[in-house]
Amino acid sequence: GAGVSQSPRYKVAKRGQDVALRCDPISGHVSLFWYQQALGQGPEFLTYFQNEAQLDKSGLPSDRFFAERPEGSVSTLKIQRTQQEDSAVYLCASSLDGRSYEQYFGPGTRLTVT
Partner 1 sequence: AQTVTQSQPEMSVQEAETVTLSCTYDTSESDYYLFWYKQPPSRQMILVIRQEAYKQQNATENRFSVNFQKAAKSFSLKISDSQLGDAAMYFCAYRSLNSGGSNYKLTFGKGTLLTVNP
Interface with partner 1 (CB under 8 A): 3, 31, 33, 35, 40-45, 48, 56, 58-59, 89, 91, 93, 98, 101-103, 105-108, 110
Long-range contacts of 4-10 (CB under 8 A, 24+ apart): 4/92, 4/93, 4/94, 4/104, 4/105, 4/106, 5/106, 5/107, 6/90, 6/91, 6/92, 6/106, 6/107, 6/108, 6/109, 7/109, 8/109, 9/107, 9/108, 9/109, 9/110, 10/109, 10/110, 10/112
Q: How far is the CB of 45 from partner 1 (least distance, A)?
A: 4
Q: Of the two residues 19 and 46, which places its CB atom closer to partner 1 in the complex?
A: 46
Q: How far is the CB of 81 from partner 1 (least distance, A)?
A: 26
Q: How far is the CB of 84 from partner 1 (least distance, A)?
A: 21
Q: Of the two residues 82 and 95, which places its CB atom closer to partner 1 in the complex?
A: 95
Q: Of the two residues 40 and 70, which places its CB atom closer to partner 1 in the complex?
A: 40
Q: How far is the CB of 16 from partner 1 (least distance, A)?
A: 26
